[in-house]
Amino acid sequence: MENAGEEPAPLLPVQELAAGRHGAGDDGGVPSRYVARRAHDGSEETPTAAVPVIDLGRLCQPAADGESASEAAKLRAALQSWGLFLVANHGIEVSLMDAVTEASREFFRQPLVEKQRYTNMVGGNFQLEGYGNDRVATEEQVLDWSDRHYLKVEPQDERNLALWPPCLRDVLHEFTTKCTTLKDCLLPEMAKLLELDGNYFSNQFSGKAETYARFNYYPPCPRPELVFGLKPHTDASFITLVMVDSNIGGLQVLRDGEWYNVPNKPDTLLINLGDQMEIMSNGIFKSPVHRVVPDAEKERLSVVMFYSLDPEREIQPAGKLIDENHPALYKKVKIKEYIAGLFEYFAQGKLVIETAKI
Ligand SMILES: O=C(O)CCC(=O)C(=O)O
Ligand SMILES: [Fe+2]
């Protein structure tokens, strides 16, 4: 991304702030630039979302039977309501999941100077890939209580290996391969739920489709009720796979104006739909608004795989879903422009999907 030369000074990683290595903040350890909301007293308990666990083995078995039909019904209900679900029996070994989480922890535990070898601020310019924080466009922008490392993992020949820390290399390559297989199993099931050709969604993914891995690190926050680990947003992806730390909550999803905790279950993965799927399904499937709230005591890690279409492609609602009674609800959008819009809107705390609605 280019830079107009007016970028405010680079930020300290939140991990450094949280460790108190740079003096106390304005609000009990939280500098005012991170204060996103008014404190609440915590008296209203956040309800838990009734997100189903889908058994992938059952869902995708070749001979459709009662078991696969009941998994498909659960999946349909989840995609039309929450826009997210947990997946079990997904074919990714727990040992690999643990190795990826451990490698990520090892990366963030390194001294700052080591991590800064992968910085996303190069010569004062913000780059999408690398270690750091989101682009800061203005002094007013409310900052998130998290650091991240962000890498393009597919197409494989577009990997910038200089940004791949040695501790992550092998496990990330293997994890990417397994996650892509998982995505490839899910897409036909989703197409069938919409009575589209089984390959309809898979066929959208050309060799130029892009996958990004994002390693999120949320340090403990002395005043978690004042900040967001990540502000409310939808993912601009087609579909997102999230491996959350099963020891700690913090991810929340919005439904009908109310926030719900997304449940954790050991060894499962969370799948959430992104805006590209919401657009192509003409809004039948939802790209959920979600956010992350940090913990007062514990650090939290997540590893997220964003599957997105070729940036040069234009997408619109599938023709088969549109008729007199079901008009298109979204405009044609170019992936590249849409994603650029996401970063701009996210910084302002707004939702880019609104720009695609008719
Ligand atoms: O950390 C999480 O659980 C979710 C992260 C997320 O929503 C994102 O990186 O877009
Ligand atoms: Fe997200």
In ligand 1, which atom is closest to the CA atom of 216? 1
Give the CATH number, domain containing residue 278: 2.60.120.330
Helix (H), strand (E) counts: the chain: 8, 16
Determine if ligand 1 sits within 6 Å of the CB of residue 292: yes
Within a domain: 257: no
Determine if ligand 1 sits within 6 Å of the CB of residue 214: yes
Looking at all shown ligands, the one closest to residue 212's CA atom is 1
3-state secondary structure 246-270: CCCCCEEEEECCEEEECCCCCCCEE
Q: What is the pLDDT of residue 3?
A: 43
- Token pair, residue 178, equals 């397994």
Whole-complex ipTM: 0.99
Ligand 1 site-directed mutation target among 292, 301, 307, most atoms within 8 Å of CB = 292
Ligand 1 site-directed mutation target among 148, 150, 242, most atoms within 8 Å of CB = 242
Provide φ and ψ at 16, rounded to 5°.
-70, -40
Q: Can you give the pTM of this predicted structure?
A: 0.94
Q: What is the pLDDT of residue 137?
A: 80
Q: How far apart are CA 197 and CA 210, in angstroms?
A: 23
Element (H, E) at 82: none
pLDDT per position as a tens digit, 212-235: 999 999 999 988 889 999 999 999
Give the CA distances from residue 81 to residues 74, 229, 314, in Å, rounded to whole numbers and listed in that order.
Answer: 11, 24, 26
Q: How far apart are CA 189 and CA 183, in angstroms?
A: 10
In ligand 1, which atom is closest to the CA atom of 250? 3
Q: Of 57, 64, 61, which Cα lies nearest the Cα of 92? A: 57
3-state secondary structure 188-205: HHHHHHCCCCCCCCHHHC
Ligand 1 site-directed mutation target among 14, 237, 251, 260, most atoms within 8 Å of CB = 251
Looking at all shown ligands, the one closest to residue 134's CA atom is 1
Determine if ligand 1 sits within 6 Å of the CB of residue 269: no
Cα–ligand 2 centroid distance for 207 (angstroms): 24
Within a domain: 11: no
pLDDT < 50 stretches in the chain: 1-5
Within a domain: 281: yes
CA angle 343, 344, 345 (to 5 degrees): 95
What residue has token string 């399904």? 281
Q: Of 289, 306, 139, 303, which Cα lies nearest the Cα of 228? A: 289
Within a domain: 74: no
Give the CA distances from residue 277 to residues 68, 273, 351, in Å, rounded to whole numbers and listed in that order.
Answer: 22, 6, 16
Within a domain: 306: yes
pLDDT per position as a tens digit, 278-289: 999 999 999 999
What residue has token string 């070729």? 310
Give the CA distances from residue 240 to residues 39, 226, 236, 303, in Å, rounded to whole numbers and listed in that order.
Answer: 31, 27, 9, 10
Q: What is the pLDDT of residue 10?
A: 59
Within a domain: 50: no
Whose alpha carbon is nearest atom 10 of ligand 1?
235
Domain count, the chain: 1
Determine if ligand 1 sits within 6 Å of the CB of residue 211: no
Q: What is the pLDDT of residue 220?
A: 94
Within a domain: 233: yes
Specify the amino acid at residue 118: Y
Q: For the CA atoms of the chain, what is the radius of gyration?
A: 20
Q: How far apart are CA 17 and CA 31, in angstroms?
A: 9
User: Residue 319: how many CB atoms within 10 A of its CB?
Assistant: 10
- 3-class DSSP assignment, residue 92: coil
Determine if ligand 1 sits within 6 Å of the CB of residue 279: no
The answer to whether the beta carbons of residues 149 and 105 sit under 8 Å apart is no
Provide φ and ψ at 132, rounded to 5°.
155, -140
Q: What is the pLDDT of residue 94?
A: 96
Look up residue 235 and give its DSSP letter. -
Cα–ligand 1 centroid distance for 79 (angstroms): 18
Q: What is the pLDDT of residue 37?
A: 76
Within a domain: 45: no
Q: How far apart are CA 349 and CA 175, in angstroms?
A: 31
Q: β-pairing, 84-88 with 53-55? A: parallel
pLDDT per position as a tens digit, 59-117: 987 766 777 888 999 999 999 999 999 999 999 999 999 999 999 999 999 999 999 99
* Structural domain containing residue 199: 90-252+268-356
Determine if ligand 1 sits within 6 Å of the CB of residue 262: no
Looking at all shown ligands, the one closest to residue 242's CA atom is 1
Q: What is the pLDDT of residue 1?
A: 40
